[in-house]
A and B are shown apart, each in its own frame.
Chain A
Amino acid sequence: MARRRKIGNAIVYLILIVMSIVWLFPFIGLVLQSFRGEYGGMVNYLVPKEFSLVNYQFLFSDSSKFIRWYTNTLIIALFVALLQTLIVICVSYALSRMRFKGRKALMNIWLVLGMFPGFLTMICLYYLLKQLGLTEAGAVPGLILISVASSGMGYYVCKGYFDTIPKSLDEAAILDGATRAQILVKMIIPLSKPIIIYTALVAFMAPWCDYIFASYVAFGNENGYNVAVAMTRWVWTNDYQGYFTRFCAGGILVAIPVTILFMCLQKYYVEGVTGGSVKG
């Protein structure tokens, strides 16, 4: 029995080691390429012949707007994380704790709305934002606005968590003369720290990947790009050979803070996705 378990464990270790290599390989490649001094796109060797910082120097030089794009994305991410979390908390509390006319109908309508492919509405949103002057150079506030405006529909995970907090607590608080608003601020929010961190984390990470809306709203104006749009263009441009290693360097600079943040808050993320998957 012990022998069999040992063999079993050895096989598992082998699989895990192979998987780890496969999982990390692209990231190692990315890091190595970002330090490559030689010109060119994908080359047929992994370790650069000459290590250099030229790619990073390019990103911070005047000939690139990388800092601007990075700041754009960071601003969007911070605002979206803050405002979206607030809205999700409000909606979740109202739907979880309060009973009002049209509650079920509202939830059903939102469920159906979620079945439409999101960027079907892209052209229309573009025109709406354009009327407000929030496209092209004003893409940053525009993107914040459309991300936050529809965020109420993403209440499922948070509401599911609120549902697990016993109603008897609310009733006791009401007997003590607390208002609904006080219950939310003084009781529910402190009890829901993990899910609030999860909501904010997911909201913060999404804008770093946003390509579709960001590219459409910026509409070719370089000042309104976020990192995803700007750097995707580098890879797809005709001068891809010249920009590939720069893309890798920029990718590293984007990935490091987001990854560190994610790793620090991983515990809450796991709690959120696990709870969310069970609740549906």
Chain B
Amino acid sequence: MGVNAREAGPIARFFRWLGGDLGEIGASFAQGDWKSKLSFLIMGFAQLCRGQWVRGLTMLALEGGILFYVFRFGWDYLRHILTLGVVETHKQGRITVWGDNSFLILLYGLLTIVAILALVYLWRLNIRQNREAEQRLAAGKRLPTNREDLASLFDKNFDKTLLALPVTGIFVFTVLPIIFMICIAFTNYDATHQPPAKLFTWVGLENFKALFGIGGEGFGGTFFYVLGWTLVWAFFATFLTYFLGMAVAIMINKKGIKLKKLWRTILVMTIAVPQFVSLLYVGKMFASDGLVNAYLLKWGWIQQAIPFWDNALYARILIIVINLWIGIPYTMLIVTGLLMNIPAELYESARIDGANAFQTFRKITLPYMLFVTGPFLLTQFIGNLNNFNVIFLLNRGRPQSMSLSNNAGSTDLLVTWLYKMTINDSNYKIAAVIGIMVFLVTAIISLVVYNTMPSVKDEEGFQ
């Protein structure tokens, strides 16, 4: 039978690679000298024997460190990972006996798995290093000295020096927590299953079933309601600020307008002032006892206060409008910088052809801007999907509605809803599910938009 080389899928390719790799390991062992053979067990031994103590000591220290962690510490957690603990915290007489802590079992269990994977990788690297060293010696060449090894960390291997710390940081504080939270989506970790007093355990796809309402009550309705508003919000927040910001930039840039710098500086104030100050104040301004209502009442324009934050529709519109206040200056800055890049001759010839201001905008400025700022629009859209500050500081997702489950409000985005679930309700399992959904929505939009974007499809245009 055998798999045809050209048709091989990723899985088949993986196994072919694995087979080849195992063969190479075997060959390395069979053909290596006794020092290299011993290095299979004591990593770095052969390097030390050959005088490469920088490499040897690094390998030995890493192996020792990882093994120490795994056996001394990690194994205690890893062995419970399939059950996430069985002994619940209980009282014996008047003494509290602490049981297993599901949270730590999962967290350190994952860390231990990763440590073991890292060890396997290092082990493989160690074998390869020794094989290369042997081949070099056999060919009569000399090995790099310790000094050269160290110096290469600032030259040929500078990338490793530069990236070591950032990659480790991202791994521990981003990757590990994300894997952890993905796992939480498959457990029953919530307010009634909180370690260290209680245990939580694996429940398979239960939470996802609850989301889509399969088998009994679900919160799928609320989820799609919130998702709908999140998309509507992101759409308006992105495109309204984009087009209005562009209009403002063009106005300020117009010939004959004086004090250009002053206008820009005034608008940029909203970027400079920390949002928690400006948004909290503006939010209060529109409260039912706020300044806006007070003046409207005083002037007799309205008879009673407008419930800006207590009516779902008003609140939604107001949030989009206030977001313009924050967003327009940002687009304005970017567009101002880009306007200068459009060749003046284009405008000149359009003017000679008798085009008016609107026509030149539609035919020259807009296409150019859309082309150049395509990626920016995408990141703005994604950023708005997750725009926590504006929603949360203005009105915390209110008004609350009885028809929505899990305390969602009418202006809640998926992320603010997720935040509330975590902080107020300790409903971690559902928060994790929502988090995964946010990821899916973001990833799908990014993929689709990115593949249809003109600046990606046609890199040469406008050059």
Residues of chain A touching chain B, judged by Cβ–Cβ distance below 8 Å, are 5, 8-9, 12-13, 15-16, 19-20, 22-24, 26-27, 29-30, 41-46, 87, 90-91, 93-94, 98, 100, 103, 106, 110, 112-113, 115-125, 127-128, 145-146, 148-153, 179-181, 184, 205, 208-209, 211-212, 216, 227-228, 231-232, 235, 244, 247-248, 251, 254-255, 258-259, 262-263, 266, 269-271, 273-274, 276-280
Contact = CB atoms under 8 A, between A and B. Distances in A.
B334 interface: yes
B154 interface: yes
B46 to A, nearest CB: 23
Contacts of A15: 251
Contacts of A244: 284
Interface pairs A-B: 6 shortest CB-CB: A280-B375, A152-B166, A44-B294, A121-B177, A274-B337, A277-B376
A211 B257 contact: no
A235 B177 contact: no
Interface stretch (B86-94, B139-147, B263-271): B263-271
A176 B294 CA distance: 72
B333 A273 contact: yes
A255 B277 contact: yes
B289 A42 contact: yes
Q: Which DSSP category, helix, strand, loop or mixed, fits chain B's interface?
A: helix
A27 B458 CA distance: 45
B443 interface: yes
B17 interface: no
Contacts, number: 258
Interface string B169-185: 11011111110110000
B256 interface: yes
B285 A12 contact: no
B323 interface: no
Given A26-B278, A91-B163, A278 B175 contact: no
B333 A228 contact: no
Contact of A94 (B163, B257, B297, B428): B163
Contact of B325 (A22, A90, A153): A22
A223 B186 CA distance: 36
B404 interface: no
A146 B267 contact: no
Given A23-B267, A113-B178, A116-B178, A93 B162 contact: yes
A262 B274 contact: no
Interface string B432-460: 10010011001100100000000000000
Contact of A153 (B170, B269, B278): B170
23 contacts: A16-B257, A23-B266, A26-B285, A42-B285, A42-B290, A44-B298, A100-B159, A117-B418, A117-B439, A120-B177, A120-B431, A121-B173, A121-B181, A124-B180, A125-B173, A127-B104, A211-B389, A232-B393, A255-B277, A259-B272, A263-B265, A274-B338, A276-B376
B337 A90 contact: no
Given A20-B263, A280-B374, 19 more contacts: A9-B257, A12-B257, A19-B267, A20-B267, A87-B166, A90-B162, A116-B438, A119-B419, A120-B181, A127-B104, A128-B173, A180-B158, A184-B158, A211-B389, A244-B284, A258-B273, A263-B272, A278-B375, A280-B378
A271 B338 CA distance: 10
B275 to A, nearest CB: 5
B211 interface: no
A112 B334 CA distance: 26
A42 B107 contact: no
A184 B333 CA distance: 30
B177 A125 contact: yes
Contacts of A8: 254, 357
A181 B155 contact: yes
Given A24-B266, A115-B442, A117-B415, A148 B169 contact: yes
B272 A117 contact: no
